[in-house]
Amino acid sequence: MTLTAPDLGKRPPDNPGLALRPVNADDDAFLLSLYVSVRAPEFAVMGWSESQMTAFLAGQYRLQAHHYATHYDSSRFAIVTMAGRPAGRLLVDYGEEVRVVDISLLRQWRGRGLGTALLKAVLDEAAQTGRDVSLHVDTANPAQRLYTRLGFADTGERHGPYMQMRRPARSGV
């Protein structure tokens, strides 16, 4: 998969040291550990041992990676870095509309404004071409507050536990 990183745009990032770089073959171990760190709390109630949970989530990660490679091969998939160290990932699909397919941050980087800065950069790019921005979010995910604050609204469309949110095209953030 040959994808380029989304551009943080001309607006300086709200967080010094925040950058994006393209995903490369050496990132697989980081991406797996990020996936496990994001999804493990959902499965903690299962009562599985750590090794059982890690094995299950590794399989889920491989399925997701295959899905992304198959269905979003023309998207921009980036590693989010802080001061040069991997902190998360961002996958954005640029079609008729701009779709934020995945935005994930390691736990220690959440709540520090990185997600806001990344989404504002995506919104800036979309505004330049007059495109709507959409995403899907778990109905229990507290990130909905951030999305609402940035102008996203629930479209009423549901896919299992996920709701679609959309921000109409507009200029500026």
Residue at 1 is within a domain: no
Phi, psi values for residue 50, rounded to 5°: -60, -40
Q: Percentage of the chain with pLDDT > 90?
A: 60
pLDDT of residue 171: 57
Residue at 7 is within a domain: no
How far is CA 104 from its chain centroid? Answer: 5
> What is d(CA 88, CA 103) in angstroms, rounded to the nearest whole number?
7
Residue at 134 is within a domain: yes
Residue at 141 is within a domain: yes
> What is d(CA 90, CA 5) in angstroms, rounded to the nearest whole number?
8
CATH number for the domain harbouring residue 77: 3.40.630.30
pLDDT of residue 116: 93
Kindly tell me if the per-residue pLDDT of 13 is higher than 70. Answer: no
**pLDDT category of residue 172 using cuts at 50, 70 and 90:** low
Q: Mind listing the pLDDT tens digit for each residue in 21-79?
A: 999 989 999 999 999 999 888 888 888 988 998 999 999 999 999 998 888 876 889 99
> What is d(CA 88, CA 110) in angstroms, rounded to the nearest whole number?
10
pLDDT of residue 96: 87
**pLDDT category of residue 106 using cuts at 50, 70 and 90:** very high
* Stated pTM of the model: 0.85
At 160, the amino acid letter reads G
Kindly tell me if the per-residue pLDDT of 4 is higher than 80. Answer: no
Q: Mind listing the pLDDT tens digit for each residue in 72-90?
A: 876 889 999 999 999 999 9
Residue at 10 is within a domain: no
Instruction: Determine the structural domain holding residue 153 and report its residue range.
Output: 18-167
Structure token pair of residue 10: 């001309």
Residue at 173 is within a domain: no
pLDDT of residue 50: 87
Residue at 6 is within a domain: no
pLDDT of residue 7: 57
Q: How many domains does the chain have?
A: 1
Q: Mind listing the pLDDT tens digit for each residue in 125-162?
A: 899 889 999 999 999 888 999 999 999 999 999 988 99
Structure token pair of residue 106: 């390691």
Residue at 153 is within a domain: yes
